[in-house]
Amino acid sequence: MSKISNAEAIAAWSTMPADVVSAYDDQGDYPKRHLMNANLLRMLGALDGRRVLDAGSGEGYFSRLLADRGADVVAVEPADALRARAREIERDRGQGITFVQADLAELPDLGRPFDAVVCSMVLLAVPDWKAAMAACVAALKPGGRFVFSLTHPAFEDLFGIWSKYGHYRLDRYLDDYEMPGDYAPDFHRPLSAYLNQIISLGCRITEVCEPGLDPQVAADSGVEGTESYVALPNFVIISAETDG
């Protein structure tokens, strides 16, 4: 386990300035728009009328995409800065999203079990990620679906490294380590750690998705380095189901 605590990591997320938090658009950001969101939605399956937990919802763009599709959404987010922005947008839009401020590793009772839990780009931010993952699985009804995404542990800082060298370089993969971020750290663990943990929780992995960017979309961006998303997967998205 990491040397920093969950509370310290959450406090770091709370230092995100308001202008950075509000820079997210309705699809999050460029990589999420083009690589992540459609895959998450597809892997979650039917949403209309389903009770869905957005675990570590950030400023809530994905909760809003879920609510747009008819889901009854509970969004758990512990960091003040992100949660405040999500609530502000909910006050404007009134989509009926329920917000809960909590650490996933100490999840309060959220009521009825969920049809699906999505945990997008969160476990890599949580020091005690095994407790967080266990809580997500425990929140599901039998046969419920758990979909989580990560920066692909084999291709972290893909855009930055590719932009510098014209290809990807990696010299450390198998151990666990902390990676400093602009506001809060991420934590590297090999992909097998996540996959084996979800299996040990009694889930059946139903899909592992390593999305690549459409070459034409990359060309249209006009931004050098975007071709890295065509060649290599920036994200990995995993779906799993509990016993039915």
Cα–Cα distance for residue pair 240/244, rounded to 1 Å: 12
Are 36 and 211 in contact by the 8 Å Cβ rule? The answer is yes
Query: Rule CB under 6 A: is residue 133 a binding residue for ligand SAM?
Result: no
- Nearest distance, CB of residue 210 and ligand SAM, angstroms: 18
Query: Rule CB under 6 A: is residue 103 a binding residue for ligand SAM?
Result: yes
Query: Rule CB under 6 A: is residue 211 a binding residue for ligand SAM?
Result: no
Query: Rule CB under 6 A: is residue 122 a binding residue for ligand SAM?
Result: yes
Among 35, 43, 71, 77, binds ligand SAM (CB under 6 A): 77
103: left (phi over 0), alpha (psi -120 to 50) or beta: beta
Q: Which stretch binds ligand SAM (CB under 6 A): 64-72, 85-93, 117-125, 165-173?
A: 117-125
Query: Which residue number, 79 or 147, has a Cβ lying nearer to ligand SAM?
Result: 79
3-state helix, strand, coil in the chain (%, to 5): 40, 20, 40
Q: What are phi and psi of 11, to 5 degrees?
A: -60, -35
- Nearest distance, CB of residue 122 and ligand SAM, angstroms: 4
Are 131 and 102 in contact by the 8 Å Cβ rule? The answer is no
Strand residues in the chain grouped as ranges (E)? 51-55, 72-76, 98-100, 114-120, 140-151, 177-179, 186-188, 204-209, 235-241
Among 73, 79, 198, 240, binds ligand SAM (CB under 6 A): 79
Q: Which stretch binds ligand SAM (CB under 6 A): 67-75, 102-110, 172-180, 234-242?
A: 102-110
Query: Which residue number, 177 or 219, has a Cβ lying nearer to ligand SAM?
Result: 177
3-state secondary structure (DSSP) of residue 94: coil
* Interface residues toward ligand SAM, by CB under 6 A: 6, 9-10, 13, 28, 56-58, 61-62, 77-79, 82, 103-105, 120-122, 125-126, 132
